[in-house]
Amino acid sequence: MRPVAQIFQLGLWKKVFVSLLFLTWGVMNMPEPAWNAQKGEKALFAGGCFWCMTPPFDNQTGVITVTVGYTGGKEENPSYEQVSSGQTGHCEAVLILYDPAKVTYRELLGIFWQQIDPTDDGGQFADRGASYKAAVYFYNERQKQEALDSKERLRRSGRFQDPIVTPVLPAGPFYEAEAYHQDYHKKNPVQYKSYKKYSGREPFLHKIWGKPGKINQNDLQARLTPLQYQVTQECATEPPFQNMYWDFKGQGIYVDVVSGEPLFISLDKYDSGTGWPSFTKPLEPGNIIEKPDFTLRTPRTEVRSKTGDSHLGHVFNDGPGPHGLRYCINSAALRFIPKESLRKHGYEQYLKYFK
């Protein structure tokens, strides 16, 4: 019997996992893919083992579904055994259905680059061969250009010493994988965590990007839109009446677009007539830092997030309510979490406010 370390090095461990899952699940008929029945835009990425590519996108606001499957080959409806053996030319991939009003394709690209080794064209981590190669597959010219621009920004960042070799390719047919592969991280959390660690993916990503929760400033330009970066990092102000949330009336909370820390709630939002989102008070006062701002002739009070250190806007003493405050915030500094999605994204403690 081989030592565990040798099994991982040889790439045999994944086949062991899959064999056990076959015995447990048996043969199951897949329902019609959810992304065929819902409205949204599609993004397609290959990043090695699709088990590890699901959670980062599944946890992103604006992502409707994440489906794992196979793409890039010639045969129709390939099986996992055919793909993993290299018989069909397919690679493992994730198809993402997303709402472009809530998450941009550029943001999805930023998530993608942080899950892979873009300097490796022979597979990903312990998974070797064509079926585990990384790639961005585009559905239109806009996605193609955004992907190429994102790849170039990553190259210029200097984060990797070796060349960035992950290709940007036109999307072809996508075939949904077997049932036991879907949401593997939820069905088999212990095995998934062990797999991600000992395949080498987790240690590599921590080394390059830092551990989760640690904000790396060198990464922000790749992850944020130009306006989001200018507002949060360079204290810019977006145009009034031409931003995402100034007249938005959805029920939920607003979090820092950089760190995800809760900042404001829709119940405290009101129309100030200024053209920017305005709130009477913070949802979590401890997540807000106020600083004197002397950039204009009239002194103001700047509002920043505590963990993300993002510039959010300013607070003024001309608001309604008992405290008379108006937190005038840039939409570009915020990410909205609908009340229906609070539990999914880990903010379930705020559901009580909507009962």
pLDDT, tens digit, 9 for 90 and up, residues 148-193:
999 998 888 888 989 999 999 999 999 999 999 999 998 888 889 8
The lowest-confidence range among 26-40, 41-55, 269-283 is: 26-40
| pLDDT at residue 322 tops 90 | no
The lowest-confidence range among 197-206, 213-222, 333-342 is: 213-222
Taking the C-alpha atoms of residue 297 and residue 62, their distance in angstroms, rounded to an integer, is 40
Burial of 276 (0-12, 13-18, 19+ CB in 10 A): buried
pLDDT tens string 215-264 = 566 677 778 899 999 999 999 999 999 999 999 999 999 999 988 889 99
Predicted local confidence at residue 216, as pLDDT: 60
Residue 91 bears catalytic tag: no
Mean pLDDT (whole number) for 55-84: 92
Which residues face 265 on adjacent strands?
Answer: 253
Kindly list the distances between the CA atom of residue 126 and the CA atoms of 5, 100, 129, 267, in Å, as whole numbers in the listed order. Answer: 11, 34, 10, 49
The answer to whether the CB of 146 falls within 8 A of the CB of 109 is: yes
Predicted local confidence at residue 315, as pLDDT: 96
Instruction: Identify which has the larger pLDDT, 217 or 297.
Output: 297
pLDDT tens string 43-52 = 999 999 999 9
User: Residue 22: pLDDT band by 50, 70, 90 thresholds?
Assistant: very low
Predicted local confidence at residue 214, as pLDDT: 53
Q: Report the mean per-residue pLDDT for the chain.
A: 87
Predicted local confidence at residue 217, as pLDDT: 61
Could you tell me the pTM of the whole model? Answer: 0.56
The answer to whether the CB of 134 falls within 8 A of the CB of 47 is: yes
Predicted local confidence at residue 28, as pLDDT: 37
Residue 328 bears catalytic tag: yes
The three state secondary structure string of the chain is CCCHHHHHHHCCHHHHHHHHHHHHHCCCCCCCCHHHCCCCEEEEEEECCHHHHHHHHHCCCCEEEEEEEEECCCCCCCCHHHHHCCCCCCEEEEEEEECCCCCCHHHHHHHHHCCCCCCCCCEECCEECHHHCEEEEECCHHHHHHHHHHHHHHHHCCCCCCCCCCCEEECCCEEECCHHHCCHHHHCHHHHHHHHHHCCHHHHHHHHHCCCCCCCHHHHHHHCCHHHHHHHHHCCCCCCCCCCCCCCCCCEEEEECCCCCEEEEHHHEECCCCCCCEECCCCCHHHEEEEEECCCCCCEEEEEECCCCCEEEEEECCCCCCCCCEEEECHHHEEEEEHHHCCCCCCHHHHHHHC
User: Residue 343: pLDDT band by 50, 70, 90 thresholds?
Assistant: confident
* Active-site residue identified among 49, 52, 91, 235: 49
* Active-site residue identified among 52, 91, 235, 328: 328
User: Residue 328: pLDDT band by 50, 70, 90 thresholds?
Assistant: very high
Q: Give buried/exposed letters for 230-252 (b at 16+ CB in 10 A, else e).
A: bbbbebeebeeeebbbbeeeeeb
| pLDDT at residue 36 tops 90 | no
3-state secondary structure of 122: coil
Computed over its alpha carbons, how large is the radius of gyration of the chain?
A: 22
Predicted local confidence at residue 338, as pLDDT: 95
Taking the C-alpha atoms of residue 64 and residue 53, their distance in angstroms, rounded to an integer, is 15
| pLDDT at residue 283 tops 50 | yes
Domains of the chain: 4-222 (3.30.1060.10), 241-354 (2.170.150.20)
3-state secondary structure of 20: helix
